[in-house]
Amino acid sequence: MNYQLEVSNITKSYGDLKANDDVSLNIKDSSIHALLGENGAGKSTLVKIIYGSLMPDSGEMKWDGSNYNPKSPFEARENGIAMVFQHFSLFESLTVEENIILGLDGVGLNENFTDEILKYSKQYGLDINPQQVVGDLSVGARQRVEIIRCLLQKPKLLIMDEPTSVLTPQEVSDLFVTLRKLADDGCSILYISHKLEEVREICSEATILRGGKLVQSCVPQEHSQKELAEMMIGKKLTELARSNINTGSDIFSIKNLSCPSDDMFGVDLTDISLTLKQGSIVGIAGVAGNGQDELMELLIGEKATDNDVLYFDGHDIGSLNSHERRQLSMFFIPEERLGHGAVPDMSLDENMLLSRPESDKMTSRDVIDWDIVSTFTQKVISDFDVQTPSGRMLAKSLSGGNLQKFMVGRELIRKPKLLIVSQPTWGVDAGSANNIHQSLIALADQGSAILIISQDLDEILSLCEQIHVLSEGRLSDAVDMKKDGLEKISQLMVGGESS
C-alpha cells in the first residue's frame, strides 16, 4: 500500500498539557481521510505540525516515503501540502485575486492570473469572481476562494479544517462533489470534522483522537454513527428532551424591525417580526453572515431601534441600552466570548460586572461591593462547573468551554424572564455543550422564554419548538416541522444565497 503521508508517534506539549500524545496517522494516495475528534482533542495541533506551523516535541513524519520535517508552511507547500483553514485566512480589504496570489509562493502580480483562477473555478465547479473584494463575499464563497487558492498550488494533500461548519446544506453537497473529483484526480484529502454523518458519507478512512491521544483508525462505514460518537466522546451523554412544554402569555415581540447596517460589509435587516411566549424556546437558524450579528446587536441594545418595534413585558424597549434592559430581566449571551461577552484581560470577578442587574446589590449608586461580586462569581463557578482556580483568573486564561459556562452561568443565576443567546455552544466541548443545553431547558421549564440564534442546525432542532430561518437579513415565518421538516429549513437557508 502506498502512503502519501505517514505520521508516527507525534508528541507535542504546552507546559503540562499534552496536546498530542504519541499520535500516528497514515494517509493513502488519492483518499479522503477523516480526522475526527472533539474540540480540544488535538486535531488542530496535529494538523499544524503537518502543515509546518508547529514543531513536534518528538515523533517523525514521512512524505512520499522520505523523511519530512517542515519548519514552516512554505516548506509544507513546497512539498505539495495545502490547507483550508477553519477561520479563513483571507484578507477582507483585498480582492479575490490578490488573496489567491498571496497564498502562492513564487507567483508575482502578473495580469494573466485571472484566467488561471477561472480555469480552476470552472474545472471544479467553484463559482467565483476574481475581481470582487473578499469582504463582500458570503462565507461559502470565501471558502471557495480558499479552496481555489490551495488548488493552484497543485497539492498532493489538501487539509480541510471543519469545512462544513459554516455552509448551507446545498453548499455542503457542492463541496463534496468537488472533493470527490479532487481525490479522483490524485489529491489526498485530510478532512477534519466532528460531524459523523459527513465523515461516513465521504471519507474512506478515519483517525479518531480524544484528549490528545489516538483512539483508533478505522473505516467509518464499518461502524455505526453511535459507535463512532462513543469513540470520539468517550462517555455517554444524557439525552436531551423537553418533557412537557408549558407556554404562557406573550412576553417578547419584534414588530416589523428594519435596520440598515452601518458597516460596509454588514447586512441590512428587513421587516423582521417574531413573538416569544413564556416558557418557550424559539430558534433562529441560518448560515453565518445573514444578519445574525446585526440582529443580536439590536436585541442586546448595543444599538437603539425606533420606537414601537421591540416590546418586552409590556415595555417599549427600543431605546433602552443593554443595562436598562437587564433591569427588566432580559439577559444576553453573545456569540463572541473574548472581547464581547467577556473582557479577556480582566478577571472573572470584574467580568461579572458586565451584566449587572441593580437588584443584586453588586453595586449601589455605582459604588462596587467586591465582596458581593465575588460571592456571585463563586456561585457561577460552582453551580455551572467552571474549571478555574479562582475568580481572580483572567477570562482569557479559561478554555472556550469553561468561559462559555461562566458566561451562561452569569446570566442564568439571574433567572431571566427572557434569555437571548447566540451560538450557545460554539467551539465548546461536547460535555460542556451538553451541560449548557440542559441548563437552558431547565430555565425554560421554569417559565422563562429563550431565543436561540445558532448556525448549528442540530442544536436548534433538538432544543427549539419553534424555528425560524434568517437569510439575507429577512426572517422566515415559523417552520412547521411536522409538515415541512428539515427540507423546508434547508431551502430557506439557501433561499437568500445569491450565488
101 binds other proteins (CB under 8 A): yes
As measured in angstroms, the least distance from the Cβ of 23 to other proteins is 18
Task: Cell 458519507: give the residue.
Answer: 201
336 binds other proteins (CB under 8 A): yes
As measured in angstroms, the least distance from the Cβ of 107 to other proteins is 8
Stretch that binds other proteins, among 85-93, 179-187, 219-227, 238-246 (CB under 8 A): 85-93
94 binds other proteins (CB under 8 A): yes
What would the grid cell of residue 139 be?
462565507
452: β partners? 283, 421
Candidates 177, 219, 245, 264: give the one binding other proteins (CB under 8 A): 264
Candidates 8, 93, 273, 319: give the one binding other proteins (CB under 8 A): 93
Q: Name which of 124 and 332 has its Cβ closer to other proteins.
A: 332
191, 33 in Cβ contact below 8 A? yes
322 binds other proteins (CB under 8 A): yes
263, 448 in Cβ contact below 8 A? no
Q: Name which of 89 and 123 has its Cβ closer to other proteins.
A: 89
Angle between helices 169-184 and 485-495 (to 10 degrees): 80
# residues contacting other proteins (CB under 8 A): 66
Candidates 60, 65, 74, 273: give the one binding other proteins (CB under 8 A): 74
131 binds other proteins (CB under 8 A): no
Neighbours of 335 (CB within 10 A): 19
Q: Name which of 75 and 445 has its Cβ closer to other proteins.
A: 75
Q: Name which of 149 and 156 has its Cβ closer to other proteins.
A: 149
User: How long a stretch of residues is the chain?
Assistant: 499
20, 408 in Cβ contact below 8 A? no
91 binds other proteins (CB under 8 A): yes
Q: Provide the phi-psi class of 120: left if phi over 0, else alpha when psi is between -120 and 50, else beta.
A: alpha
For the segment 369-388, give every residue that binds other proteins (CB under 8 A).
370
Candidates 165, 216, 363, 375: give the one binding other proteins (CB under 8 A): 363
As measured in angstroms, the least distance from the Cβ of 468 to other proteins is 24
Candidates 2, 108, 241, 249: give the one binding other proteins (CB under 8 A): 108
Kindly tell me the sign of the dihedral angle through the C-alpha atoms of 278, 279, 285, 289.
Answer: positive
- Tell which residue, 187, 195, 148, has the closest CA to residue 167: 195
- What is the phi/psi pair of residue 255, to 5°? -120, 110
By rule CB under 8 A, what string of x and - marks binding of each residue 31-50 to other proteins?
Answer: -----------------x--
CA distance 242 to 231: 27
For the segment 339-358, give every residue that binds other proteins (CB under 8 A).
339-346, 350, 353-356
Neighbours of 345 (CB within 10 A): 11
Q: How far apart are the first and last CA of the chain?
A: 42
CA distance 274 to 418: 14
Q: Name which of 47 and 309 has its Cβ closer to other proteins.
A: 47
**Residue 242: strand, helix, or coil:** coil
* β-strands 418-422, 474-475 pairing: unpaired
As measured in angstroms, the least distance from the Cβ of 456 to other proteins is 22
The DSSP output letter for 204 is: S
Q: Name which of 74 and 248 has its Cβ closer to other proteins.
A: 74
> How many CA atoms are closer than 13 Å to the CA of 427, on its beta-carbon side?
13
What would the grid cell of residue 166 be?
459554516
Candidates 89, 221, 224, 382: give the one binding other proteins (CB under 8 A): 89
CA–centroid distance for 14 within its chain:
24
12 binds other proteins (CB under 8 A): no
30, 183 in Cβ contact below 8 A? yes
Stretch that binds other proteins, among 170-178, 229-237, 299-307, 424-432 (CB under 8 A): 299-307
As measured in angstroms, the least distance from the Cβ of 439 to other proteins is 20
Give the interface with other proteins as residue ranges (CB under 8 A).
Answer: 48, 52-55, 57, 72-74, 77, 85, 88-94, 98-99, 101-103, 107-109, 133, 135, 262-264, 300-302, 321-326, 332, 334, 336, 338-346, 350, 353-356, 363, 366-368, 370, 392-394, 397
